[in-house]
């Protein structure tokens, strides 16, 4: 637990909430004059035992439950970055999932301009793998330039996707399916991901691969065979990143080289001197 940082974050955000906004009367006589909710009022609003919030803010609550942290974060109106900070300060780890289900569903509009400026194929999807932005180079990968609405469904279930993703059953599906499982662990109530899982389980081949339970958390740095609609057979190396305002979303940059020979079988590591 980082007590100093935790105390600073909680005090700052608690001070911004007017007691009157939650039905409390501000005292007019002698007594407390600190801005915002009192610690006892936080306990009342969260239906917690008196002194619970004080223990947390003072740094005397080791390993507080994430349910308490989530309730406090929502009461204080924290954004996703502040939610991550709260869990890191209190638990020394990232949160188990987003603060709000709606998080990860949108990114600032400037991402389209940013993607347009990338010379390799590039796109941005939300936390459900729904397409948000892509560049013209990415569209050339598909016949007639028709980009799929959901890249996860396309990779796992679309017949055209299986034709494009060469060696689909060994080089692609076993690596993509664990990402579906991990996404559902973080977002169990995501209707789009649940529907994709339902379709995966309804097909014998994908269901068997899904049941294998392989672990492959992300594709960053992977090189896999791919059939480009215009450039033919080749190898694509994936660079993955995440817009910080949208947990679960991803920026994918696809470095494609046509030909039978792998280009980055053992790509070097970049390190600062």
Rg of the chain in Å (alpha carbons): 24
What span, in angstroms and rounded, lies between the C-alpha atoms of 74 and 1? 21
Decide: 249 and 126 in contact? Cβ < 8 Å: yes
Secondary structure (DSSP) of 49-118: -TTHHHHHHTT--SS--HHHHHHHHHHTT--HHHHHHHHHHHHSS--SS-SSTTTTS---THHHHHHHT-
Residue ranges of alpha helices (H) inside the chain are 3-14, 39-46, 52-57, 66-75, 80-91, 110-116, 136-139, 151-157, 159-164, 173-186, 191-201, 204-211
Report residue 155 as tokens.
């990779």
pLDDT value of position 267: 60
Q: Name the 3-class secondary structure at 236.
A: strand
Residue with tokens 């347009």: 116
Per-residue pLDDT of the chain (273 residues), as tens digits, is 899 999 999 999 999 999 999 998 876 656 556 789 999 999 999 999 999 999 999 999 999 999 999 999 999 999 888 998 999 999 999 888 788 777 888 888 999 999 999 999 999 999 999 999 999 999 999 998 999 999 999 999 999 999 999 999 999 999 999 999 989 988 888 999 999 999 999 999 999 999 987 776 678 889 999 999 999 999 999 999 999 888 889 999 999 999 988 877 666 677 887
What span, in angstroms and rounded, lies between the C-alpha atoms of 149 and 132? 9
Q: How crowded is residue 110: how many other Cβ atoms within 10 Å of its Cβ? A: 9
Report residue 184 as tokens.
């559902």
Contacts of 107 (CB under 8 A, 6+ apart): 124, 126, 132, 133, 243, 245, 246, 249
Q: Name the 3-class secondary structure at 216.
A: coil
Decide: 191 and 183 in contact? Cβ < 8 Å: no
Report residue 255 as tokens.
């470095």
What span, in angstroms and rounded, lies between the C-alpha atoms of 26 and 21? 11
How many residues are given for the chain? Answer: 273
Dihedral, 47, 53, 54, 55 alpha carbons, nearest 10: 110
| pTM (predicted TM-score) | 0.75
pLDDT value of position 263: 79
Decide: 64 and 91 in contact? Cβ < 8 Å: yes
């Amino acid at each position: 637990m980082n007590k100093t940082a935790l105390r600073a974050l909680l005090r700052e955000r608690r001070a911004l909430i007017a007691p009157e906004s939650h039905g409390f009367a501000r005292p007019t006589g002698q007594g407390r004059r600190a801005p915002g909710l009192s610690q006892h009022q936080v306990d009342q609003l969260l239906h917690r035992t008196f002194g619970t919030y004080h223990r947390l803010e003072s740094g005397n609550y080791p390993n507080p439950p994430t349910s308490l942290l989530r309730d406090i974060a929502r009461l204080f109106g924290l954004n996703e970055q502040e939610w991550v900070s709260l869990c890191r300060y209190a638990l020394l780890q990232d949160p188990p999932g987003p603060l709000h289900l709606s998080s990860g569903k949108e990114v600032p509009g400037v991402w389209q301009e940013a993607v347009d400026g990338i010379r390799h194929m590039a796109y941005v999807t939300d936390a459900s793998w729904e397409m948000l932005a892509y560049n013209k180079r990415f569209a050339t990968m598909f016949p007639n330039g028709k980009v799929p609405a959901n890249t996860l469904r396309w990779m796992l279930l679309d017949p055209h996707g299986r034709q494009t993703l060469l060696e689909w059953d060994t080089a692609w599906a076993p690596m993509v399916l664990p990402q579906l499982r991990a996404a559902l662990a973080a977002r169990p109530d995501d209707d789009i991901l649940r529907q994709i899982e339902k379709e995966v389980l309804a097909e014998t081949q994908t269901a068997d691969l899904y049941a294998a339970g392989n672990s492959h958390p992300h594709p960053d740095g992977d090189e896999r065979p791919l059939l480009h609609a215009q450039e033919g057979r080749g190898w694509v190396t994936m660079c993955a990143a995440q817009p910080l305002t949208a947990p679960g979303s991803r920026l994918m940059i696809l470095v494609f080289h046509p030909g039978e020979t792998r280009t980055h079988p053992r790509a070097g590591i970049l390190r600062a001197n």
